[in-house]
Chains A and B, each alone.
Chain A
Amino acid sequence: MSVLFSALDQVMSVMHLSYLMLGVVIGLIVGIIPGLGGIAGMSLLLPFIYGMDASVGLGMLMGLVAVVPTGDTFTSVLMGIPGSSSSQATVMDGFPLAKKGQAARALSAAFLSSMIGGVVGAIILSIFILVARPVVLAFSSAELFMLTLLGLSVVASLSGGSVYKGLAACGMGLLIGTIGGAPATGDFRFTFDIDYLYDGIPLIVVGLGIFALPEIISLLIKNKSIASKGNQLGHGLGQGLKDVMKNLPLVGRSSVFGSLVGAIPGLGGSVVDWMTYSFAMGASKDKSQFGKGEIKGVIAPESANNACSCGSMIPTILFGVPGSGSAAVFLGGMLLLGIQPGVSMVSTHLDLTYTIIWSLALANILGAALCIFLTRPISMLTYIKFSILAPVILTLILFAAYQATRSFGDFMALGVIALIGVFMKSANWPRPAFLIGFVLSAGAENYFFQSIQFYEYSWFTRPGVLIIGALILCGLFLPPLFRKAMRKRQTQEEIEAAETVVNNFSLDIWIAGLFLMVAVVFGYQVWGEQTLTSAFPLIAVALLGGSSLMVIINHLRHRKLIETAEIRQGLVYIAGFFVMAILYFELGFLTTTFFFTLLFIYFFARAGIVKSTSVAVGLLVFLLVMGRLMSVDYPEGLLDGYVLAVANMI
């Protein structure tokens, strides 16, 4: 106990606090800028780390790692761009809230949830870390596989009206997730001899493609400001905080769940937000608002993702095996400070461990407070006419995607996924199901084969497997039963309202047909490979193909209900995106950003020359500063050499 407070004493020293604050500020900046996240922030701080006092250095790193999932909420809510992989579920309801003019409410609710989540996570961490070793070791490959199944079962509740569409989307995600090396054999699958595909498609590119680009396109087609309803900005802030207070049990549950999932190495934080999102949905009496701007859909994932980043410190500190991407970077920082993670962290370095935990809690509080402070000015963005914001957002998206592997492939993959995204958005196919399939694909396959190879078929009877299996069954079958019981009490009107699901039939058949074709091509490609390589993709192909077929059959049965959907405009914009992506790459990122922004705002948004020039110059300066400070690279293309030369002179 005395160690706990002597560590607090140390954390509260001016030196420690100021470095922690530095970490928090940098963490917020890289969190707000989509695509950067903890890794970019670390590359900014690491040069200073070497030779620093260990507890101060740890405080600074912790400040950074802790607030990244807080800062990334801004773009998720305001622009529909998932700032990092841990805030993808926040987009689902956060962005619709912004569209309703309640951006400030969504943001303040998100930040308060983040703060509580982070503090709960830190508390759990401080107790759990002393006893966590056997618990973490109890999660073998078999239990990890079951956890990925638990994640996948969430698809059922996110599928909305149509189960088959959900399954097909999930199958598509699973299949795209198998691109690259087969974990069990090392064979490469579906690479089509393109170097880029050997590593698989990066998650951030998939997230941007499936959510952000389709949103931008539909907003551009409407060409209004993001917030379409009246100005309620002033009320929003307090309302959001009140929302959190009203939903404290949800915050608590999500935080605890988030920190536990984070504590298990190998599952990754990117799924925890979806899981808590679906739990929030399952536990609500009125599900109709989810996906349209339900505040609970913001609160749950935001509580969970900060808690998760606390939890992911457990395997990092105890085993030296990082529980998440930013934890991996934190691990590198620890090594540079000369601290070896492992059991000794609790036995001989307990003071340092508690320094980490205190810093974590403090950083979460400071970060969220700063964000709440910034909410009102930044939310104003949603009232700007969208065509002025569009080039800025497009540049940010391309910037974020390019940080994934820094190759042209990032742009192309983004365009292809965005095409799927535009189709799915127009016809109301559940895009989260796609993303969850993608996120869990590698884990599901890897842990399945590992558990079979380690335990043969006896793994079915492991107690952990049985418990998680029971949880999955409860999750799948209780909510429908519950709903049935509820429905008896509903009025006739409500039932009718619930049953008029808006579907877009003529587009459905196109999407299902496309998916079926993908299933056939991929199935043909992998057919005949050795079992360990082909089994999992074939399961995905079967799921994708079968569900797509069912969608088509359903469609043919209900031919009378056919409605047409407007998709042509969306496709034109996707084609435009590819053209822009090529220009950004071939002419140079900086040059294209400048001229595209200038011309787009001047001609398309019909703004004055002053306005268009200042936006274009501002964006260019921003990119140049980023490039200088964070050693970020851009595609140079033909012309950027000149721009950089001028910039260097200044």
Chain B
Amino acid sequence: MKKLKHIAMGVVAALSITTAVAADNAVPDTIDFTIPFGVGGGTDVWARFIAPNLSNFIEGNPTVVIKNQPGGGSITGTNLFFSRAESDGSDIIGTSASTLFPYMLGDKRVRFNLDNWAPILASPTGGVVYVQPDLGISDSGDIAKLMNQELKFASQGPTQLELPILIALDLIGADVKPVFGMKSRGAGRLAFERGEATIDFQTSSAYMNSVQGLVDNGKAIPMFSVGVMNKEGNIVRDPAFPDIPTFEEAYESVHGKQPSGMQYDVYRKFLAAGFAFQKVIFVPADVPSEVLAEYNQAVRKMVADPKFKQEAAEQVGPYENAVGVDIAMYLGEAVKISPEMYSWIKDWLKSEFNYSL
């Protein structure tokens, strides 16, 4: 027994020496890519698409192993990553909007701190709001006619991905009655197809794959997209949906002016976190600077690769993946909620949905 432990100790010591030698400046041979969601979900599929590509562009082509750790709408897995991730670059994590929102809303289960991590890649997405054709409108120009009708929206919950959409619809003056408890956005779309929900929202890839057909057959009418942010920080039409007006345009056609004010600021905040930074890969910030640099260089090469670009466009839409040191700054900005904003969103959630933060 004692002997066994001796051998084991020796081996551990030997291993730690070899890893210490190897860890001076290279990315380790095996990378554990934590995905705080289940197998087969949106984030998992995205990660499995990214993983082999990422491996191709890192020096020495390390093996990227996907570790699914679902629970708590991704909070559980992200907390675990925060407490356990090695600082030699062998642990990275992929997050989604449902990881960032609880962080911004101060969910008490959140024990991770995004300041300790460096984002290396952010995949954005867009999204479209669409309605049933029997509401007396024929295209998105008629959006003002929606304002005096009750619209039922099948949603996952008040603080889920739909949060910015709920804020936007309230801002524009629509009388939206959300029905919560949908298991996924897909379940919400099913409720729309059954005719139970009269208004619905899908992110770009789901819209292209599942809703475009409905639109073509006259079973759905697109109202507005959330648009994308250009280099100057303005919202412009989504390149995936150039014919669909943005929320800002829709607002203007109803109210005759651009949206502004606190509610709009909060909307933009959650829009940025939920959509511009929909999927993010983080590396713990305390990895050796050479390792971080290697990661950054690898993703830069990856997103410039024509084959990757084409495949990514098919998977998630024609969006530019954000890379480099800049995203750290933008992301830090996007998830920062001022006390005024926090108290506004808290009051709004309470008065709209009787939900207490």
Binding site for B on A (CB under 8 A): 39, 42-43, 46-47, 50-51, 137-141, 181, 183-187, 195, 198-199, 265-266, 319-322, 328-333, 335-336, 338, 340, 342-344, 405-407, 446, 449-450, 453-455, 530, 631, 633, 641-643, 645-646, 648-649
Contact = CB atoms under 8 A, between A and B. Distances in A.
Interface stretch (B63-71, B92-100, B241-249, B335-343): B63-71
Contacts of B65: 631
B135 interface: no
A407 B181 CA distance: 26
Contact of A454 (B9, B152, B210): B152
Contacts of B38: 39, 328
A258 B191 CA distance: 23
Nearest to A42: B39
Given A198-B72, A328-B41, A406-B69, 13 more contacts: A43-B66, A137-B193, A138-B194, A185-B355, A199-B72, A320-B206, A332-B45, A332-B48, A336-B49, A449-B179, A454-B152, A633-B67, A646-B11
Interface residues of B, number: 56
A541 to B, nearest CB: 20
A197 B40 CA distance: 24
> Is chain A's interface secondary structure helix, strand, loop, or mixed overall?
helix
B222 to A, nearest CB: 17
B157 interface: yes
Given A320-B210, A329-B40, A407-B76, A646 B158 contact: no
A407 B8 CA distance: 26
Given A186-B159, A329-B40, A645 B11 contact: yes
B218 interface: no
Contact of B11 (A137, A185, A266, A649): A649
Contact of A449 (B157, B181, B190, B210): B181
Interface of B: 4-5, 7-9, 11-12, 15, 38-41, 44-45, 48-49, 52, 65-72, 76, 109, 152, 154, 157-159, 177, 179-181, 183-184, 186-187, 189-191, 193-194, 196-197, 206, 209-210, 213, 314, 353-356
Contact of B8 (A140, A332, A643): A643
Nearest to B196: A454
A440 to B, nearest CB: 15
B312 to A, nearest CB: 12
11 contacts: A39-B40, A186-B180, A187-B356, A321-B190, A328-B40, A332-B39, A344-B213, A450-B181, A642-B9, A643-B8, A645-B12
Contacts of A406: 69
Contacts of B189: 319, 321
A185 B191 contact: no
Nearest first, the 7 A-B pairs at minimum CB distance are A332-B40, A183-B181, A642-B8, A186-B157, A329-B40, A454-B196, A453-B179
Most chain A C-beta atoms within 10 Å of own C-beta, residue among B9, B15, B71, B177: B71
Nearest to A642: B8
A214 to B, nearest CB: 27
A450 B179 contact: yes
Given A140-B194, A199-B71, A643-B8, A42 B40 contact: yes
Nearest to B354: A530
Nearest to B12: A645
Contacts of A329: 39-40
A646 B15 CA distance: 10
A591 to B, nearest CB: 11
B180 A185 contact: yes
Given A336-B45, A336-B49, A407-B76, A631 B67 contact: yes
